Every structure is written in C-alpha cells, then in structure tokens.
C-alpha cells in the first residue's frame, strides 16, 4: 500500500477505528494485535503486540487468541471495511462443538474472517515454532467447520465481508463503494491558504461529510481527497492539524476542538503561519 493500512482515512476516521467501531456493536471486548512498534490511533480496546515480528496471520491470531482466553474469538483484519455483522453473529452461533468456524468463499478459505477456540493455541504455537505461517495448516489438525458459499450468500449475498485492501487501487475502490452505499448528507467547502495551498495545488474544494459531522470528519475527508497533506498539514491520524496550522469556520471563529460540529454549507479555512496572518 505504501503506507500503514490501519491509518488510511475511511468514513471520517482511521481505517482501524472504523473496523473497531463496527465490531463494538457485536462484541463486548475488542483485542487489537499490533506489531511491536506499530503506531495506532487512540482506541478503546485491549492492545497486545506481537512478541516476534513478521509472523504473519498465524502470529496475530495466536497472540490475540491468547489474550482472549478462555473465550472464543472472531478474528478479522484491519483492512476489511465492509464487515457484515449478521454473518459474524452467524459464524459465532455455529461454533458449538468446533475448534474453528471458517467461511469458504470463492474457492478459498477465509482465515481472517473466522472464529477460533483457545483450544487451538498449542497448535498455533507449534506452527510458529516451525515457521508455518499460513493459518490453513491448522484446519486439518483440529475440529473445523467450513461454512459453504451458499450458506454465506443467504446472509451476505455479494461477499462484501471478504473485501480487503492490498493495493492503492483496492483502497480507492473501497472508498468509492462506501460512498455509493452511504451518500453524504452534508456538504461544506474547504479553502486552503499558504503551504497547504502550495502542496495541494488547489485553493478550494467541496467535501461531502456525514450529517452532524465534526471538524475531525472534515479533516479526515480532506486527507482522503488530498493525501499530499497527510504528515505535512494533517496529523497521520487525520483527526487534527499539525502544530503551526489553524482552522477557521465561516471567517468567524478559530476552532481547535475536533468534535466541533460542522453544518451544511459551512466554509472551513485552513491557514498556516506563513499565510500572512
């Protein structure tokens, strides 16, 4: 992707925040497994880190499931923005008597959209010790229920649950798909001054944002439209401007609070210290 997938702006927030927010409507506890030095936004989750780097999905599943023990755990990746909560609940409901419940979609098992029982931890540990980094090696060693495509389509007809993003084109397609499914209810204009304008090579653009959107939604939407501003004008989390930049709404007041509500038709001005005041 060329940049951390977990921090990609999506629906007005970092992608991993979007995924966590969806899962919180189903599960009482969310565990995020991160690399040892991986940067993440603030999340109300239990955060664990890989003890060994570059162990792939098997490492992530192992360390996450170990933290979840003795509970079963639904496992997904941070780049799956179209999770179907009904399908997730169905997978969990099929877990009785099995060690793993895994979907079989378009001739492939989906190990990063599956449910695991902590009984499989010793097998995953052995795989890590043997450097067998593909989760599917586990399935023949434990009691595994493979959910058929027909069963999946009854709940998620087009398999949106299994859309993920590995290339920039995948990301752009996902953004467009989300916009098509959730058209914005509010529009505002953003005008750039100083360095921000020079970097963006544009002075003004209109943004579609959710109803009752906050300033954080506007900044995140701006980062999606103008990724050149990320890290230079906008913090990597996309929820705030970096020091030295200011935001004015409708020419009336300077705003620093990311929760400040932006209304339909508002004009947001992004200014830098060298913009002439």
Domain harbouring 246, CATH code: 3.10.20.30
| Mean pLDDT confidence for 172-196 | 89
Q: How confident is the model at residue 55 (pLDDT cuts 50, 70, 90)?
A: confident
Q: Are 62 and 101 in a shared domain?
A: yes
For residue 179, being part of any structural domain is answered with no
Q: Are 232 and 146 in a shared domain?
A: no
Q: Are 127 and 251 in a shared domain?
A: no
pLDDT at 162 exceeding the cut of 80: yes
Q: Are 34 and 152 in a shared domain?
A: yes
Domain total in the chain: 2
| Alpha carbon distance 55, 206 (integer Å) | 43
**Whole-number percent of the chain with pLDDT over 90:** 68
Q: Are 205 and 239 in a shared domain?
A: yes
Closest by CA to 57, choosing from 81, 80, 25, 88, is 80
For residue 88, give the CATH number of its domain.
Answer: 3.90.550.10
pLDDT at 192 exceeding the cut of 50: yes
Q: Are 152 and 199 in a shared domain?
A: no
Q: Which of 105, 138, 168 corresponds to the end of one domain? A: 168
Query: What is the pairing mode between strands 100-105 and 46-49?
Result: unpaired
Q: Are 59 and 151 in a shared domain?
A: yes
Q: How confident is the model at residue 238 (pLDDT cuts 50, 70, 90)?
A: low
For residue 108, being part of any structural domain is answered with yes
Query: For all residues of the chain together, what is the average pLDDT?
Result: 91
Q: Are 31 and 117 in a shared domain?
A: yes
| Mean pLDDT confidence for 130-138 | 90
Q: How far is CA 11 from CA 62, 250, 262, 275, in A?
A: 30, 24, 15, 30
Q: Are 19 and 99 in a shared domain?
A: yes
For residue 173, being part of any structural domain is answered with no
For residue 58, being part of any structural domain is answered with yes
Q: Are 221 and 151 in a shared domain?
A: no
Residue 7: the pLDDT is 92
Q: Give the residue numbers spanning the domain of 16.
A: 5-168
Spatial CB neighbours of 135, under 8 Å, sequence gap ≥ 6:
57, 58, 61, 111, 112, 114
Q: Which of 139, 168, 197 corresponds to the end of one domain? A: 168
Three-class DSSP category at 51: coil
For residue 66, being part of any structural domain is answered with yes
For residue 178, being part of any structural domain is answered with no
CB atoms within 10 A of CB 52: 10
Residue 210: the pLDDT is 79
Strand partners, 146: 102
pLDDT at 273 exceeding the cut of 80: no
Q: Would you give the distance in Å from CA 41 to the centre of its chain?
A: 11
Contact (Cβ atoms closer than 8 angstroms) between residue 77 and residue 164: yes
For the segment 20-48, what is each residue's pLDDT rounded down to a tens digit?
A: 999 998 999 999 999 888 889 889 999 99
pLDDT at 276 exceeding the cut of 60: no
Q: Are 58 and 97 in a shared domain?
A: yes
pTM for this one? 0.72
| Mean pLDDT confidence for 240-263 | 91
């Amino acid at each position: 992707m060329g940049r951390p997938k977990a921090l990609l702006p999506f629906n007005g927030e970092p992608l991993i925040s979007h995924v966590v927010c969806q899962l919180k409507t189903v599960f009482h506890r969310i565990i995020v497994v991160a690399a040892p030095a991986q940067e993440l936004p603030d999340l109300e989750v239990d955060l664990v880190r890989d003890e060994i780097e570059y162990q792939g999905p098997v490492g992530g599943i192992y360390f996450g499931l170990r933290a979840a023990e003795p509970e079963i755990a639904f496992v997904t990746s941070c780049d799956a923005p179209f999770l179907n909560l009904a399908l997730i609940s169905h997978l969990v409901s099929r877990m009785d008597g099995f060690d793993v419940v895994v979907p079989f979609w378009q001739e492939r098992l989906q190990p990063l959209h599956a449910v695991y029982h902590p009984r499989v931890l010793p097998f995953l540990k052995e795989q890590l010790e043997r450097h067998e980094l593909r989760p599917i090696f586990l399935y023949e060693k434990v009691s595994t229920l493979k959910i058929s495509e027909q069963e999946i389509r009854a709940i998620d007809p087009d398999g949106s649950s299994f859309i993920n993003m590995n290339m920039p084109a995948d990301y752009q397609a996902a953004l467009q798909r989300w916009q098509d499914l959730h058209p914005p209810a509010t529009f505002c204009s953003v005008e750039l001054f100083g360095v921000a304008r020079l970097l963006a090579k544009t002075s003004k653009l209109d943004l579609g944002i959710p109803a009752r959107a906050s300033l954080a939604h506007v900044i995140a939407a701006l980062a999606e439209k103008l990724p050149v501003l990320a890290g230079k004008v906008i913090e990597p989390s996309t929820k705030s401007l970096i020091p030295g930049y200011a935001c004015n709404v409708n020419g009336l007041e300077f705003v620093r609070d990311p929760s400040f509500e932006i209304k339909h038709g508002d004009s947001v001005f992004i200014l830098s210290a060298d913009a002439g005041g």
